[in-house]
Structure 1
Amino acid sequence: MSAEAKVDQTGKELIAPSESSVVRNSDVEEKKLLWKLDANLLPAVIILYLLSFLDRSNVANARIEGLAADLHITGNQYLTSLTLYFIGYVLFEVPCNIILKRTTPKFWLPTLTLLWGIVATLTGVTQGLSGFFAARFFLGVAESGLFPGVVFYLSMWYKRRERQYRVSLFFSAASLAGAFGGIFAWGIAHMRGVGGLNGWRWIFIIQGLLTVVVSVIGYWFISNYPATAGFLTEDEREHIQARLKEDSDAADNEPFAWSAVWGAFTDIKSWLYCLAFHTLSLPLYTFSLFLPTIIADLGYTAANSQLLTIPPYALATILTGFIAWWSARVDRRAPFLVSSSLVAIIGYIILLANSDPTGRPGVSYVGTFFAAAGIYPSVALALSWPALNVYGQTKRAVVNAMQISIGNLGAVIGTQLYRPVTSPRYILGHSFALGYLAANIVVTIALWWVLDRENKKRDLHQAKKVGGSGDDEVGSESGWPNGEHPSWRYNL
């Protein structure tokens, strides 16, 4: 990059478009274009993730509606079924994103949805422990590619500073699913006896069939990438390509390369992104999978427990969107992530401090609000961070998958912590969640420091180049790792 070259706010060299391209794209209004992208992209992927989270977490609602009794499943066997889901999820995360990179979103995302919809539906007719175990494992396999796939997908449409808010809105479907799950479970449970089936079976069957229907429609409403999107005009396609090229690598025609995969696994920042989610996945999934049980064990009926799960999730949904907007507005992630984790820690302190949950159920219920209010915004911020910072399409796809895969090992651990013998205080589970959230703060601060150090190193290189003193002391432009240009700046 020459000393005269212009750079944008991220430090990346601006590629000047041709004069004709400038004239042709000058009529495209940026704000209207973003609204158009949001309207055509976000509802589709949010609906898919809402269904994904419903189909993985509705087992918690089914449990208090008679699943364990009908299938003669003990408390520990139920925990094993949750673990099997995450084992399938973790094992197939990276392969699924590699398939996405080598195929297309329009094919791969609806196909994944169709597969898990079928598995979810079949869960409702399983007759024994082995069938239930198999259903949970293959549900994890089928759902494993959706979240990292969509994060990568959105990174191919939006500029870096625009991605976090969109990824966070996408993730907010998780807390929204918790709220809807409670409503659905409460209503569907009243179908007890229809067709000779218990209410918990209808929870799986109806939500699974809904997923199958939506997946088939998805082959039409999921777009591929900007260059071929049918809802865009030719001017809009050119404008999107130009704005992405100025901002990041999203407009590059990058072929798949195994060296980029290796680069993802050998970059220390990749592992810090993984740990940032790992330290949140345990509280996230223990909360979503056990909240109905935790509330029921406070002394509420099954029906009331389903309904009482709704308010904490509703609060989490609102705060996830608001904090994502605020964080994007000030262009900072780490301080908001740390603050949100602290809020969740307060929630678990309240849960642990209540020595008589059944005598004072309101105290523990308040604790669930703090936990939800902190966990979901934190996870949204952690999961959107690599989409802003990882250079290279293949590497970004792999890191997104690594983050979910390594991160969900925390969920594997968490599924074994809320054992029936620890009810109703669940000291073991709540203590682990609190400890993991504290570890998240440490990891976030470490990642913050590493990224800031990298930016300062690149600032020094840039200053030496502009000053004409050479670049031997800070590395040549071709010597930077994973093909990154030294003008690349990391978002903090």
Structure 2
Amino acid sequence: MEKSPSTENTTEGSVAPDQVYRPDVDTTSIDEHKLMRRVDFHVIPWLAFVYLPNFLDRGSIGNAKLYHIEDDINIKDKQFLISLTVFFFPYALFEPVSNVFLRRLRPSVWLSLMIFLWGIVMTLHGVITNYGGLITLRVLLGLFEAGMYPGIVFYISSWYKRSEMGSRVAIFFSSATVAGAFSGLLAAAIAKMDGIGGKPGWAWIFILEGLATIIAGLFSYWIIQDFPETAKFLSEEERVFVIRRLQDDMQFSAAGEVFQKKYIWRSLMDWKTWVASNDGPLYAFSLFLPSIIFQAKISLGHSANQANLLSVPVYAWGCIMTCAIGFLGDRIGHRYYINLCYWQTLTRYLGLVGYIILIASTSPALSYFAVYLAVSAIYPTIRTSSSQAWVASNVEGSYKRSVTLGMAIGFGNINGAVTANIYRARDQPRYRPGHGIVLAYIAIGFFCSVLFGILLKRENGRRDRGERDEVIEGVDNKHANEKNGRYESVTEARIDKGDEWSGFRYTL
């Protein structure tokens, strides 16, 4: 088969000599391995640290429920579920917008501002006295936290090659599982402050965690690095080297691009945006794990403290599984097959078995074991190999990728509004309807993962056959078609079209 001219000089993602970024800069003396270890040190640890209070603050409402927040502010179970639900609407709607601001502004400014503002809102949870105050603060918390996760995933994608993203996102997101573990430990410890300053124990959970978040936001302004082209910890040669290696990996917008409305439109029209996310099980698990354990009557004496403490090893196991799958996906390099195999062996079997046990079991020990099966299926696949890292790897154009990630994650968070209402007090202690709905979400997630891989593979085949070739001025190509666009050069085509360019190949 004749090679398409649009992919000529770009075999295996290499960049032609006349397309090299800043050709006047000599980078031959740079040790790539050493440089990327330094990038890791400056980019990943602080992101993981600040995401810990993000997930911690989001889930603290579940811990506070065990310490009688409902009774103290005089709300019923239905009102409590509504307060969980309203969080997700601004959270989901603002995520795509936030990512656009992140690209146009600096990460050190935008991410730090979000952390600082949600810290203030979190602290104010400790002084609420009624239902109206709770609803208002939950809406504001959703608004200010919205851009954090998609913003960090997009930010990571701006530093690393596609084959490196899974492990980095896994390390970063593992802080969420650590947050789940700390949530139980901190809640149990802070609740002992009950009565201090005339405030109940649940109020101190919000106040202290909120103040810690505010401090983290202030430090973030000086610690969070900006995008590669302006990062202060890199020399000029190192900045050029990082950008060149990204462009070699078909990230042509690595050096930055001018905002155009068409990038947003392309994201909204891209099927990858709509097939990518399924966060429902994650939120159902994190919000209600303490209640599930408590109502399963596992803990001796059935105390809230013991229920919170028993959630710690569950999240620790989830952290181990998240990192293991993220590293495995990057090392093998075929994320689709890892997803398919992993979802079949863990999500379809372990997750399925886990929730079936939770529905049917009357044994506290067996129910507790089932929770471990559930976390093995939910955490590693929802946030790492099966979702955001894979999506980010297959969307080119910095603005398009920012919107696609925001939309995909935001759409998934709408599912959180559903799962926030499925564990009702009247269904305790077995919570059968809630467990059944999570089972359905797991099945949908498996279907989406398979569909995503099939469609990517089919599109790669079309490009291999030349069906997507553009008309390039001065190039004789029998496969070229006007409907795919007309450009003066291959460089112009790939910069304008991003992952829609005929020479771009999706990663499986």
Question: Same fold, TM exceeding 0.5?
Answer: yes
Tell whether 2:354 aligns with 1:350.
Answer: yes
Identify unmatched segments of 5+ residues in structure 2.
Answer: 488-492
Equivalent in 331, 334, 339 of residue 332 of structure 1: 334
Structural mapping, 1:370-409, within 5 Å: 370-379=373-382, 380-381=384-385, 382-409=387-414
Structure-1 separation of matches of 2:497 and 2:419: 34
- Given residue 165 of structure 1, which amino acid in structure 2 is its aligned partner? S
Equivalent in 267, 272, 294 of residue 269 of structure 1: 272
Structure 1 residue 97, shift from structure 2 partner: 1.5
Structure 1 residue 12, shift from structure 2 partner: 6.8
| Residues 71-92 of structure 1 deviation map (CA, whole Å, 9 limit, x = unaligned) | 1221111111110111120121
| Residues 450-485 of structure 1 deviation map (CA, whole Å, 9 limit, x = unaligned) | 1001111111129999x9751246965648894532
CA contact under 8 A between 2:157 and 2:165: conserved in structure 1? yes
Identify unmatched segments of 5+ residues in structure 1.
Answer: none
Name the SS for the 2:408 alignment partner: helix
Q: 1:378 to 1:12 in 2, by over 3 A?
A: farther
Q: 1:250 to 1:318 in 2, by over 3 A?
A: farther
Q: Partner residue of 2:40?
A: 38
| Residues 160-214 of structure 1 deviation map (CA, whole Å, 9 limit, x = unaligned) | 2112221222222211110111111111111112112111111100000000001
Name the SS for the 1:225 alignment partner: coil
Q: Partner residue of 2:283?
A: 285
CA contact under 8 A between 1:164 and 1:388: conserved in structure 2? no
CA contact under 8 A between 1:186 and 1:306: conserved in structure 2? yes
Segments of 4+ moved more than 6 angstroms: 462-465
Structure-2 separation of matches of 1:4 and 1:195: 69
Structure-1 separation of matches of 2:340 and 2:127: 43
Structure-2 separation of matches of 1:19 and 1:403: 36
- Given residue 397 of structure 2, which amino acid in structure 1 is its aligned partner? G
Q: Partner residue of 1:441?
A: 446
Q: Partner residue of 1:412?
A: 417
Q: 1:3 to 1:143 in 2, by over 3 A?
A: closer
Structure-2 separation of matches of 1:192 and 1:337: 46
Q: Partner residue of 2:503?
A: 487
Q: Judge which range, 327-336 or 441-450, deviates more.
A: 327-336
Structural mapping, 1:202-213, within 5 Å: 202-213=204-215
Structure-2 separation of matches of 1:224 and 1:163: 18
Structure-2 separation of matches of 1:340 and 1:193: 48
Name the SS for the 1:92 alignment partner: helix
Structure-2 separation of matches of 1:157 and 1:210: 28
TM-score for both structures, normalised by structure 1:
0.92
Q: Partner residue of 2:79?
A: 77
Q: Partner residue of 2:306?
A: 304
Q: Partner residue of 2:490?
A: none
Structure-1 separation of matches of 2:156 and 2:469: 35
Structure 1 residue 150, shift from structure 2 partner: 1.2
CA contact under 8 A between 2:182 and 2:312: conserved in structure 1? yes
Q: Judge which range, 10-19 or 427-436, deviates more.
A: 10-19
Q: Judge which range, 340-349 or 437-446, deviates more.
A: 340-349
Structure-1 separation of matches of 2:457 and 2:284: 33
Structure 1 residue 229, shift from structure 2 partner: 1.4
Equivalent in 471, 474, 487 of residue 479 of structure 2: 471
- Given residue 313 of structure 2, which amino acid in structure 1 is its aligned partner? P
Structure-1 separation of matches of 2:137 and 2:23: 58
Structure 1 residue 94, shift from structure 2 partner: 1.6
Equivalent in 138, 141, 144 of residue 142 of structure 1: 144
Equivalent in 219, 222, 239 of residue 220 of structure 1: 222
CA contact under 8 A between 1:157 and 1:250: conserved in structure 2? no
Structure-2 separation of matches of 1:8 and 1:317: 38
Structure-1 separation of matches of 2:223 and 2:195: 37
Structural mapping, 1:216-255, within 5 Å: 216-247=218-249, 248-255=251-258
Equivalent in 186, 189, 193 of residue 187 of structure 1: 189
Q: Partner residue of 2:259?
A: 256
- Given residue 453 of structure 2, which amino acid in structure 1 is its aligned partner? W
CA contact under 8 A between 2:184 and 2:308: conserved in structure 1? yes
Structure-2 separation of matches of 1:459 and 1:368: 45
Structural mapping, 1:99-118, within 5 Å: 99-118=101-120
CA contact under 8 A between 1:464 and 1:470: conserved in structure 2? no
Q: 1:185 to 1:463 in 2, by over 3 A?
A: closer
Structure-2 separation of matches of 1:207 and 1:126: 15
CA contact under 8 A between 1:11 and 1:487: conserved in structure 2? no
CA contact under 8 A between 2:96 and 2:410: conserved in structure 1? yes
Equivalent in 132, 135, 160 of residue 134 of structure 2: 132
TM-score for both structures, normalised by structure 2:
0.90
Name the SS for the 1:228 alignment partner: coil
Q: 1:372 to 1:251 in 2, by over 3 A?
A: same
Structure 1 residue 227, shift from structure 2 partner: 2.1
Structure-2 separation of matches of 1:393 and 1:264: 11
Tell whether 2:428 aligns with 1:423.
Answer: yes
Tell whether 2:46 aligns with 1:48.
Answer: no
Structure 1 residue 235, shift from structure 2 partner: 2.1
Structure-1 separation of matches of 2:189 and 2:196: 13
Residue identity (%): 35
| Residues 233-280 of structure 1 deviation map (CA, whole Å, 9 limit, x = unaligned) | 22211211221222212423311111110111111222112xxx23xx
Structure 1 residue 55, shift from structure 2 partner: 0.5
Aligned length: 484
- Given residue 290 of structure 2, which amino acid in structure 1 is its aligned partner? P
Structure 1 residue 305, shift from structure 2 partner: 0.6
Q: Partner residue of 1:459?
A: 464
- Given residue 282 of structure 2, which amino acid in structure 1 is its aligned partner? L
Structure 1 residue 320, shift from structure 2 partner: 0.6
CA contact under 8 A between 2:351 and 2:374: conserved in structure 1? yes
- Given residue 208 of structure 1, which amino acid in structure 2 is its aligned partner? G
Structure 1 residue 122, shift from structure 2 partner: 0.3
CA RMSD of aligned residues (A): 2.4
Q: Partner residue of 1:165?
A: 167
Q: 1:4 to 1:392 in 2, by over 3 A?
A: closer
CA contact under 8 A between 2:92 and 2:411: conserved in structure 1? yes
Structure-2 separation of matches of 1:478 and 1:188: 64
Q: 1:476 to 1:137 in 2, by over 3 A?
A: closer
CA contact under 8 A between 1:12 and 1:487: conserved in structure 2? no
- Given residue 70 of structure 1, which amino acid in structure 2 is its aligned partner? D
| Residues 118-154 of structure 1 deviation map (CA, whole Å, 9 limit, x = unaligned) | 0000001111111011111110000001111111111
Structural mapping, 1:58-69, within 5 Å: 58-69=60-71
Q: 1:302 to 1:450 in 2, by over 3 A?
A: same
Q: Partner residue of 1:98?
A: 100
Q: 1:115 to 1:19 in 2, by over 3 A?
A: closer
